[in-house]
Amino acid sequence: MLCFHTSEQALHAPESEFFRGQRVPCFENPSRARFVEDALRAAGHPLRPPGVDSRAVLSQVHAPRYLDFLRTAWAQWLALDGANAAVQPFPSVWPVRTLRSDVEPANFIARLGLYSMDNGSPLAAGTWAAAKAAADAAASAAQALQAGERAAFCATRPPGHHAGPDFMGGYCFINNAAVCAQALRHGGAARVAVLDVDYHHGNGTQAIFYDRADVLFCSIHGDPRTEYPFYLGHADETGAAAGQGFNLNLPLPARAGVADWFAALEQALARIARHGADALVVSLGLDTFAGDPISTFQLQTPDFTRLGQRLARAGLPTAFILEGGYAAAELGCNAAAVLAGFEL
């Protein structure tokens, strides 16, 4: 399978994050992509850098002022104090209910809060370069499908499905799956389906396409009553305006078993078939693995092969976008298992 990777991913390497109220080393780190790249090479998949500039699509997916902030955030942080080069900025205030979000504050930390849904997406000097390169890979995958490839895989980071129209969160800055879907639409696909199989709901992708009928969003994830991102992902969220009926959430309880997970997958694929999609974008979160340190589903490596086989039977040109998965050593094996199943 054609696989894209980026050298820029290593530039996004923040040292710490906040997890359950404690400052800990980042779960989302450059080793994740390296494990995947090594497993793909071992399986004989060619890796190439992206060849498409995603800028034209980015402004269709994200608000311009958010992109401007993200592109310049680290320079703004250093402009406050040169010593900030050794300090990670974290937001500490957010424009929640009754507060205004239309006026951009002059204070940097306040701006960071304006464009963040949590304090779990730490910035680093190379964050923009890494995120932009991952978006370029997503656009390159779309172009490959349009050129006749059956499938393409983006072995990139940082992930993207929690990034919304004008906010970052959950380690995500640019929504790569949304970039790929939008690029497919621009390339002539009348209808696109996005299937998110990450343990955590793709709230950003849902928000981007919630009022649209041309992009169907389906997600299988942990119940938001107990699992991040908590405030979106319920079954009664079915779309709005023209998008009514084009959003399908299939939340499952923590520690859900393999049979229940695959039953939800069948529901999602049946809805995708009814959508009449010309192409499929898979937000391939691999944190559904039983050994993942921050998730509780029960899939084992052979189940990822089964997932790939079932996705292949959908018969659609398919772009795989790497999302979560934090059992880093097993991440590569599980990614390669999906691709092996798809190509059987």
Q: CA nearest 70: which of 104, 99, 111?
A: 111
Distance in angstroms (rounded) separating the CA atoms of residues 6 and 278: 27
pTM to 2 decimals?
0.98
In the predicted model, is pLDDT for residue 20 greater than 90? no
Distance in angstroms (rounded) separating the CA atoms of residues 10 and 130: 7
In the predicted model, is pLDDT for residue 22 greater than 90? no
Distance in angstroms (rounded) separating the CA atoms of residues 73 and 177: 23
Q: What's the pLDDT band for 18 if we cut at 50, 70, 90? A: confident
Mean per-residue pLDDT, 236-251: 98
Mean per-residue pLDDT, 176-192: 98
In the predicted model, is pLDDT for residue 336 greater than 90? yes
- pLDDT digits 0-9 by tens, 92-119: 999 999 999 999 999 999 999 999 999 9
The pLDDT score that the predictor gives to residue 302 is 98
- pLDDT digits 0-9 by tens, 161-182: 999 999 999 999 999 999 999 9
Q: CA nearest 190: which of 223, 214, 218, 226?
A: 214
CA angle 44–49–55, rounded 5-degree value: 145
The pLDDT score that the predictor gives to residue 335 is 98
In the predicted model, is pLDDT for residue 21 greater than 90? no
In the predicted model, is pLDDT for residue 308 greater than 90? yes
Sequence ranges of the domains in the chain: 2-62+129-343
List, in order, residues 6 or more apart from 285 with CB less than 8 Å away.
Answer: 159, 161, 196, 197, 198, 199, 200, 323, 324, 325
Q: CA nearest 310: which of 272, 271, 273, 262?
A: 262
CATH code for the structural domain at 2-62+129-343: 3.40.800.20
Q: What's the pLDDT band for 237 if we cut at 50, 70, 90? A: very high
Distance in angstroms (rounded) separating the CA atoms of residues 157 and 33: 7
Number of other residues whose CB lies within 10 A of the CB of residue 86? 7
- pLDDT digits 0-9 by tens, 48-66: 999 999 999 999 999 999 9
Look up residue 139 and give its amino acid: A
The pLDDT score that the predictor gives to residue 122 is 92
In the predicted model, is pLDDT for residue 145 greater than 90? yes
Active site residues: 162
Mean per-residue pLDDT, 141-168: 98
Distance in angstroms (rounded) separating the CA atoms of residues 164 and 174: 8
CA angle 222–310–61, rounded 5-degree value: 60
Mean per-residue pLDDT, 270-282: 98
The pLDDT score that the predictor gives to residue 299 is 97
Distance in angstroms (rounded) separating the CA atoms of residues 288 and 265: 13
In the predicted model, is pLDDT for residue 142 greater than 90? yes
**Share above pLDDT 90 across residues of the chain, in percent, rounded to a whole number:** 97
Mean per-residue pLDDT, 310-337: 96
Number of other residues whose CB lies within 10 A of the CB of residue 147? 10
Nearest-Å Rg of the Cα atoms of the chain is 19
Number of other residues whose CB lies within 10 A of the CB of residue 270? 12
Q: What's the pLDDT band for 19 if we cut at 50, 70, 90? A: confident
The pLDDT score that the predictor gives to residue 97 is 97
- pLDDT digits 0-9 by tens, 69-78: 999 999 999 9
- For the chain, what is the mean pLDDT? 97
Instruction: Report DSSP state, residue 214.
Output: S
Q: What's the pLDDT band for 287 if we cut at 50, 70, 90? A: very high
Tokens 């490596």 -> residue = 301
Distance in angstroms (rounded) separating the CA atoms of residues 322 and 34: 12
